Amino acid sequence: MIDNQPKKTKAYIAGVNLNDPNFDYYMTELANLTEADNMEVVGQSQQNAESIVAGTYFGLGKINEIKAMAHGLKAKVLVLNDELTPVQIRNLEKLTKLRVVDRTELILEIFASRARTKQAKLQVQLARLQYELPRLHPSENNLDQQRGGGYSNRGAGESKLELNRRTIGKQISTIKKELKAVASQEEIKSARRNQSRIPKVALVGYTNAGKSTTMNGLLKEFSDESGNKQVFVKNMLFATLDTSVRRIDLKDNFSFILSDTIGFISKLPHNLVESFKATLQETKDADLLINVVDSSDPNMVQMIRTTQNVLDEIGVKGIPMITAYNKADKTDRNYPQIEGSDILYSAIDPKSIKMLAQLITKRVFSNYEKYHLVLPLSAGKELAYLHENAQVLSEDYQDDGVHLEANIAPDDQGRFKQYLV
């Protein structure tokens, strides 16, 4: 049988450990990111040091060791655990005769290959150009000509030789204008959702923790047309870069807006976070956050910390949060179960999804009050508003008006007091 799959580029990963207790975790992440960029990790090295060597990142002895190991394993790319300076990258490429990719460029390449919508593509292009701008340099060896797009067609930048600062400056300006136009359209949609009193719930968390699977589970359980609304799911880092927004209509007449946001990872490049702030707006507008965590991962605690760090960076503060420990089916613990205000569950288990929905309901509808109302038969707009923004428990048309029992949000309670009975 002929294997038509293209061979993966062999990569050697390495980093400098400055007495960081999380170093092993970051190196595991780096290996996963390298695999996600369609490369095969064939080996790795680390140097324990008090500081980074300014011109070469590693010391000369470690560079020679890495060069020998990498070439012996037929690696073509050296992937490094930190963001390097342009000088460090050029010097390492000269000394090792390998293409050098730092952590930031690696993540940018992955994002470029995953971008699907116009907004996501523009955001990645902007971050990529901002990364490339200080790295422009006349080619000193032919390795420089391989940069910009990676080993697969990224579509997010040209080679360094074809770019100069003026060209990049113009491109950045053009992309910012395009992004502004796209963002304004998204803001209109978001404003419409914000006008509604329906609570907004946002799924956040580490990439590949199961956010999209959780959304699909809720859609399957509570929507008759779930097949048309399912979001893309794949077992890989950054499977989707776009925020998906769906309305979840629970069986007891409660509804909420659910958004599935981009996943996070340690040391997410600042330019990328800045570029994706518009995409992450749903998180800032939420009434409740659900931090989806892979409970089967030994690095779970660091992942929770990573998510919190990114939320802090984009200015998300003071929003109530449920920590949802997913993938319990991969552990030996009993599930589903509520643990205080959090939940241990499996996103592929219907019982778990129902329990999660109950927990969401308890958190976002706790301050709703039950009202007995009589609306005049002429108050069609008010009746429609209640159906759209409240939980209508019963409705009875009588001669003196429409008799209703409804749970109403705090902001709407004053509006309907005149109809109280």
Mark the binding-site residues for Mg(2+), compressed into ranges: 212, 240
Strand ranges across the sheet with 342-344 = 244-249, 255-260, 200-205, 288-294, 321-326, 342-344, 337-339
Q: Partners of 290 in the beta sheet? A: 203, 322
Our measurement of the distance from residue 70's CA atom to the centroid of its chain's CA atoms, rounded to an integer in Å, reads: 32
Distance CA 176, CA 173 (A): 5
List the structure tokens of 355: 């329990």
State whether residue 20 is helix, strand or coil: coil
State whether residue 207 is helix, strand or coil: coil
Distance CA 265, CA 299 (A): 12
Annotated binding site: 205-212, 238-242, 260-263, 326-329
10 Å CB burial of residue 153 (0-12, 13-18, 19+) is exposed
Q: Partners of 292 in the beta sheet? A: 205, 324
Our separate counts of H helices and E strands in the chain read 14, 14
Contact, 291 vs 321, CB < 8 A? Answer: yes
Contact, 357 vs 336, CB < 8 A? Answer: no
Annotated binding site for GTP: 205-212, 238-242, 260-263, 326-329
